[in-house]
Amino acid sequence: MAAEKVAPPFPAEEKMSGEEGAPAVAQENASPVVAAPGLSRLDIERYSRQLVVPELGVRGQLRLARSAVLVVGCGGLGCPLAQYLAAAGVGRLGLVDHDAVELNNLHRQVLHRESRLGVPKARSAAAALKELNSGIQYVPHELALDPSTALQLVRAYDIVADCSDNVPTRYLVNDACVLAGKPLVSASALRLEGQLLVYNYQGGPCYRCLFPKPPPPETVTNCADGGVLGVVPGIMGSLQALEVLKIASGMGTSFNQVMLLFDALEGRFRHIKLRPRNPDCPVCGDHPSVVALQDYEAFCGSSATDKCRTLQLLHSEERISVEEYKTILDSQVLHVLIDVRPQVEVDICHLAHSFHVPLSKLERKDEECLKSLGQRISQAKQKNDNSSAFPVYVVCKLGNDSQKAVRILQGLSQDVLGLISLKDIKGGLMAWANKIDKQFPQY
Give the start-to-end residue ranges of the domains of the chain. Answer: 67-300, 316-435
Please count the other Cβ atoms lying within 10 Å of the Cβ belonging to residue 180: 18
How high is the pLDDT of residue 427? 96
- Alpha helices (runs of H) in 3-120, residue ranges in sequence order: 41-46, 48-51, 57-65, 78-88
Phi, psi angles (nearest 5°) of residue 431? -70, -35
In this structure, CATH architecture of domain 67-300: 3-Layer(aba) Sandwich (3.40)
Q: Active-site positions?
A: 223, 396
Q: Which helix (H) or strand (E) holds 71?
A: strand 68-72
Binding site residue list: 76, 97, 104-108, 121, 165-166, 206, 209, 281, 284
The separation between the first and the last C-alpha atoms of the chain, rounded to the nearest angstrom, is: 46
Binding site residue list for Zn(2+): 206, 209, 281, 284
Dihedral angle at the C-alpha atoms of 295, 298, 301, 303, nearest 10 degrees?
50
Full strand arrangement of the beta sheet holding 420-425: 319-320, 420-425, 390-395, 336-339, 355-356
For domain 316-435, give the CATH superfamily.
Answer: Rhodanese-like domain (3.40.250.10)
Phi, psi angles (nearest 5°) of residue 29? -85, -10
Say what the pTM is: 0.79
Interacting residues of 172 by C-beta distance below 8 A, sequence separation 6+ = 145, 146, 147, 150, 293, 296, 304
pLDDT 10s digit of each residue in the chain, 443 long?
Answer: 444 333 333 333 333 333 334 444 434 455 576 777 889 999 999 999 999 999 999 999 999 999 999 999 999 999 999 999 999 999 999 999 999 999 999 999 999 999 999 999 999 999 999 999 999 999 999 999 999 999 999 999 999 999 998 999 999 999 999 999 999 999 999 999 999 999 999 999 999 999 999 998 878 887 777 899 999 999 999 999 999 999 999 999 999 999 999 999 999 999 999 999 999 999 999 999 999 999 999 999 888 876 666 788 999 999 999 999 999 999 999 999 999 999 999 999 999 999 999 999 999 999 999 999 999 999 998 887 666 899 999 999 999 999 999 999 999 978 888 889 999 999 999 999 999 999 999 99
